[in-house]
Every structure is written in C-alpha cells, then in structure tokens.
Amino acid sequence: MIAPIEGFSKLTKAEKIDWIAANYTDNPPVTKNILQRYWNSDNQLQKLHDEFIENTLTNYYLPLGIAPNFLINGNLYAIPMAIEESSVVAAASKAAKFWLDRGGFKASVLGTEKIGQVHFMFRGDTKKLEKFFVTVKPQLIADARPITKNMEKRGGGIRDIVLRNRTDQMADYYQLHCTFDTLDAMGANFINSCLEQFARTLKTEALKVDYFSEAEKNVEVVMSILSNYVPNCLVRAEVSCPLADLNEDPAIAPEELARKMVRAVAIAKTEPYRAVTHNKGIMNGVDAVVLATGNDFRAVEAGVHAYASRSGNYTSLTHAEIKDDRFRFWIEIPLALGTVGGLTKLHPLVKLALDILQRPSAQELMQIVAVAGLAQNFAALRSLVTTGIQQGHMKMHLLNILNQMGATASEKAILIDHFKNDTATHSAVVDAFHKLRDH
C-alpha cells in the first residue's frame, strides 16, 4: 500500500518525478523519460511554464492549428485553435471558405455585463435590511474605489449593486448581486477583490445601525465570488445567403439542404439528448479558440451550458430559418473573455495567437470565438444531413489510427490514398494495414 506523502509541494521537480515514478508507475525509468522529453529545452521558458501552476512535472502539449479565410464583419482572419480532436480545424476551415464568397460572417456584441455576488445571512426584519441597503450602497462603492479607480479611468468598473432577497429558497439568505464592466480584462481578480471589499463594508456598517437588533447587526457573510453565468455578456454571430447559393453539391438541391439544416436545428431545440451533442460540436470551435488565446474554457463551458438551459430545458445554442428565399443561421452565446492580464502577457503562444488575430479587444475576441462556434456547427450539421458525420471525421482520424499501429511514412501514404473514396472505419483501416504488411 502506498503511504501518503507530507510536504510534496516542497520537493524539487526532480524529487516529485522520482516519487511519482517509483510509487505510481510500473516502469520508473520510462516514466521519467516521458516526462523529461516534454520539457522545453529553453530553461527560462520551462521555468515560466513550471510557475503557471503548482506541483509541475512537465508540459502537456496540445496541437495549435490555424483555420484561415474567416471573413468577419469585413475583416479577414486566420483563427488559431488549440485542440486535440481531429477534423475540428478542417471543418472550421471548410465552413470559413464556404461563407467567404457569400458575404462572410456578421457578428455583434449585445452586452458586456459580468456578475459577482456576496452571499450572506441576515437574521431579522427584511424591511430594516432594505432600508439599511439604501444607505450603505454608496459606501460600498466608495470603499471599493481604491480597487476600481484604474478600471474607471478606462471606462469600466462597478455598474450596479442590488440587494436580492432569496429567503424563499433558503432561510435568512440574501445576496448583493453586483454587475461590472471589465473592458478587455476577463476580470475575475478585479471582481472578486471588489466583492470581498463589499463584504467587509457590509459587515462593518451593519454593526453601526441603531435600528438593528444585536442579531441583525451580526451579518454573516458566507462567501464573495464572481459568477461564470453571464447571460448579459452576450455576442451574436450569423451567416445568410439566398437559398440558391447554399449548396455546392449537385447530389442535393439547395432548398432541400436548407430544409434539412433547419429541421436538424429544430430537433436540437426539442430533444436534450441531441442538444448536448449539438452544443458540444459548437464548443469544439469555441473552446479551441478560448484555449489558444489563454482564456478559461471551463468558465466559458459552465456559463454557456447554463445559458442553454435558461428556459428550464436544455436546448440548442444555434438557430436557423428560411425566410424570403434566404437561409439564415445564427448563434447567441455568453462569453466572458479577456485580451489583457492572465496568460495573455505570460504565455508566448497566447501572445502569438492574439497577434495573429490582429490584437483584438475583448469584444472583438468575443465575436471571433462566437463565429468559430457557429462555423463548427454549420460544418457538422451539413455533414450530418448529407453524407453523415463519419465519412469526413474518419478520414481525418485515419492518421491517428495509423500512428497507433506504428505505420511507416510509406505505409501511411498508401493507405491514405486507399481510403480517399472509402469510409475509413477503424476496423477497415486495421484490415487494410494488416493486408499491406502481409504483402
């Protein structure tokens, strides 16, 4: 049985690796070799990566690809995408090229409001708390001014603080529901610092209120934290074209393709089992750009899926319609992103990705990310309602299968050519590989 370890964080990286390899792997020399192979040869760069998180052993690489030809609001972008899943970059690129000659993508930011909350317990008369809040609200804002003054100079800061009574859900439970604009910063540290100051002011000022009982004066702050649900930090992206221009495939009429696409979206609006996979495909595009630009994809995922459930049923993030002989396809999605702070000034590839995107503002990045999600969904739906998803996906997955089997460069070339016109299922690839080896 492996014994617990004390002071693991105080060990050197080499000592951490030795301990992990000796206690949790069957072949310590192989483990150590794998971990060391992924270190960066530039010691300063490796030190930078080591300090991003705690207890670092090595780097975990993801491929960084480019999807070119994205025409967004009249500007041409090549979009960096960090993702391990085959076919995602290819599908996004194909959709971008398709819409390049049809007016491109239109995108607009509908709101930039971000949310934070102070959760607290007040045991007493709600009317007295409401009276107190009216008087303390200016003090909450004033006491946070050392935190907000620089943000305010740039046009951001606190937008509002509202007292929310949630005692219908939990006894004595109230919130300070606070809204912010953090401009080009994602703003998590800024928001959390403001909220913690609000909490201190709330507790301190409550002790001074002469019309509070002793119990009412003792406001209990449970926690102060931003929310990753940002339904008013919203962006829309869309494409449209005349029905006659929708399809390049002579095997299906453009009107029929449009009807199939609209119906596919309608199914995702109706059926949660389909909606989850439908939205996962959207997030293939969204997360890949969020990762490449050093933003928090877990926060984005949580907020997006909450937004997809806002009606009480989990539903599609995209919409489609046929109107006046035009096909229209669009998405509205909440995205709290930043282009300053965090990894944007630390990670060399993040800085490069933002350079490739022409150093966008946070609002411009919101539009680019939404477009990437829309493009991914368009490509997936077009495949699903025509040839099926596997034909294109498995062709892209072919190299992964061949690499797993240890195919040589010449064997890969032969088998890639072999599967140009056949569906590359896993079993078919394995059979073809063994036949080639046997000869």
Give the residue numbers annotated as catalytic, written as ranges: 85, 280, 296, 393
Beta-carbon count within 10 A of 152 CB: 13
- Count how many Cα atoms sit within 13 Å of the Cα of residue 38 in the half-sphere of its side chain: 14
- Count how many Cα atoms sit within 13 Å of the Cα of residue 9 in the half-sphere of its side chain: 3
First to last CA, the chain: 49
Pairwise CA distance, residues 296 & 304, whole Å: 12
